[in-house]
Structure 1
């Protein structure tokens, strides 16, 4: 007995049988040879992204034919509509967030949803509302959000008349993590494990039911990891409804918008915002891992502040993180082929660039004749980049005062040395070397504005 390869043949076969009966007046079973030569073409359409090498899929389900009837074999033809998202990203590069949002909702309908974190992502919801199209919103409730964030969720639902689709972590996984390592293990061994349980896995489950999602990523949020994000892309990490690499599309409508412009939009449209913003919070995550940003700090520095700058992604957008090799001779980060990817920073006539030998000579002086202020930095570090302006302004103010302002690139091959000999904990680290003293004083504050740095220098020189 032969079987049909898809349930979609049932109706076609019934019609086929009736046709044969009407033609010969009496139904007769088809012989095997005739059945093999008969092919029914069933066509359908689906959309895949360019990165997915689509092959026609055949259903595993079968329909059992009558005992005396052999069903014709079916070859299923699949028309694949391929979208070039790199090309689309270039076409939309100069489009407004509203245009990009409208295009996203138009293309994917009910198979796309907005990821809402309780911070500036409310701008995405406002843009979706302005398109006049129906839209979906989901959020990850980690169980450790600020009370103010939950209040914002409620206000947003009422403002737009929507129901946010909340995703929660697996209770057993959270229980095992807390029982094994405690409530605050991330302060000791990093945030990645906790984020994986409370955020990444719930997000993965949410995205498996979608073909596309919308995020609030901006290029200026994190120069080290988000500076190259396009307005639309094939998601490099997660899978969508159809499964497999390239099955999910990621839209970033505000990728090219400055944070200040986002806030102008929010105020103009009078939409609800998280009350934590008024307390100095900019990037808002879980309560134990988020704090206000201090003067001179980058907005992402309020997240996981106890960790090195390279770890400032929780895993939701880990496709942004690129492996970088750093040579340590002042040229910044380089690719494996030696091509420079990051330009050096703190370039000023008033800032002395110290080599390894130069910093070694400086710390060996027991009776130095000048006072030195040295920043240990990495060119790719967004927090070093954020304080570049204030540090160079400080150097200009101190010119001619007897205080030498310097920099030492302490990443790559120099990092181990800097950690052992120069008190490097994370980037940037600022050291003060007084006159007539062999001991360096480490700047204890995270305020990196000119006034704070100048007060530190004046207190010690």
Structure 2
């Protein structure tokens, strides 16, 4: 995939087909002309994120990340060498966010690009967040842009991508969903199952998982989230934050920083900026579209309607999120049930898939009392702050998806705090996470004995006891 950069100083890549590799299979580049132009001796080597180091006339590029499914530079990439070697200083992100709370979007964007260089990228949806690209362009710094191509975008959006690339002389990095997962979803449930059972499953396959792969190649990302953007969900979006959901290049909780330069900007001010700067916009906006996503799930809004009312219009207004920013959803109460994205203490919850049942203390007590259950259950006892629970979130979500409709229920029970003593005494809680299987015809649950928490191991455990 091509990286979107704007810079007068670049590394040039030739189309030479000659091949020479060093003894450790690292691509070797030689200096041609001035020291700002490097030509690869091998075009066939797989493109990876690179560190530039060198002495004299020989420069060796070492891979930063061996993952081949994340955002990585390709042979069409140009970037400024002085940015690549820049290290990211460790600092208090909350303190930084407070410092920038009243800063302009341009100042915030400049700070983000200065700090993270080639390890940060702008997430571009093809809507009004083209403003982010304009702000990045105005800083004069190199920048990268990526977008999630779900395969179901409007034709106008694809044309807009091309227009943006030509206007800014950049290449957008496109991330695609896994073809096997899309094929399985469509063959099993059809092309429009989201109209019947909600959009979360389709978004998880076509957007969330590709985004997760993309962010594995970054240390930070830039989004177009605004506080006024969605009713009941985004009103507390900070300017800068440690990403509460996704992992970055280093892996693990806290390894990715999320920048929201326009968090405090109103939608009409964004449009004033776009008109003033004569920035190209998606032609769908002229047809009444404001927030733009996939073609089947987006429609124009009427005058006076909120912009998000054009997204997933058949669902409740409080559910108009695809999952890309679930860590920023504020706590809300719907029909007397606390939205389990956030707990009362403000900590982001995990295992929030629609296929996972959130069990309360009475629910767990009922499960324990049942000697002849209608359906078997698998339940994880967890604490949202536990790094081991966070690490297994993706596999448990996938397990729940695979078991959906199978007759086996997948649940979660938050077992820290006031519930810890109950869980230790009645649910075999020793450490987090603890996974229990409740068979149909046994009163006592069976504890998962292994430390392997990948989806295949969990499925083997379940299938052996069903």
In the superposition, the TM-score normalised over structure 2's length comes to 0.53
Tell me the equivalent position of 1:89: 97
Of 141, 148, 162, which residue of structure 1 is paired with 2:149?
A: 141
More helix by percentage: 1
Q: Deviations over 1:352-384 (max 9, x none)?
A: xxxxxxxxxxxxxxxxxxxxxxxxxxxxxxxxx
SS in 2 for 1:197: helix
Q: Which runs of 5+ in 2 are unaligned?
A: 1-86, 347-466
Tell me the equivalent position of 1:258: 266
Structure 1 residues 299 and 99, CA gap change in structure 2 (3 angstroms): same
Tell me, yes or no, if structure 1 residue 202 matches structure 2 residue 210.
yes
Give 1:327 deviation, angstroms. 8.0
Of 312, 316, 321, which residue of structure 1 is paired with 2:320?
A: 312
Structure 1 residues 188 and 334, CA gap change in structure 2 (3 angstroms): closer
Give 1:271 deviation, angstroms. 1.1
Note if contact 2:249-2:256 (Cα within 8 Å) is conserved in structure 1: yes
Distance 2:194 2:207 in 1: 14
Distance 1:147 1:80 in 2: 39
Structure 1 residues 203 and 257, CA gap change in structure 2 (3 angstroms): same
Of 129, 132, 143, which residue of structure 2 is paired with 1:124?
A: 132
Tell me, yes or no, if structure 1 residue 157 matches structure 2 residue 181.
no
Tell me, yes or no, if structure 1 residue 244 matches structure 2 residue 269.
no
Q: Deviations over 1:5-28 (max 9, x none)?
A: xxxxxxxxxxxxxxxxxxxxxxxx
Q: Deviations over 1:209-234 (max 9, x none)?
A: 00000000000101311100011100
Note if contact 2:234-2:330 (Cα within 8 Å) is conserved in structure 1: no
Tell me the equivalent position of 1:166: 174
Tell me the equivalent position of 2:275: 267
Distance 1:149 1:326 in 2: 34
Give 1:178 deviation, angstroms. 0.4
Mapping of residues 28-427 of structure 1, within 5 Å: 82-325=90-333
SS in 2 for 1:114: strand
Give 1:297 deviation, angstroms. 1.6
Distance 1:276 1:81 in 2: 41
Tell me the equivalent position of 2:432: none
Give 1:236 deviation, angstroms. 0.6
Note if contact 1:283-1:299 (Cα within 8 Å) is conserved in structure 2: yes
Note if contact 1:327-1:334 (Cα within 8 Å) is conserved in structure 2: no
In the superposition, the TM-score normalised over structure 1's length comes to 0.54
Distance 1:271 1:327 in 2: 43
Give 1:309 deviation, angstroms. 1.8
Structure 1 residues 189 and 297, CA gap change in structure 2 (3 angstroms): same
Q: Which runs of 5+ in 1 are unaligned?
A: 1-78, 342-461
Give 1:208 deviation, angstroms. 0.2
Aligned length: 258
Structure 1 residues 187 and 103, CA gap change in structure 2 (3 angstroms): same
Structure 1 residues 244 and 147, CA gap change in structure 2 (3 angstroms): same
Structure 1 residues 186 and 109, CA gap change in structure 2 (3 angstroms): same
Larger radius of gyration: 1
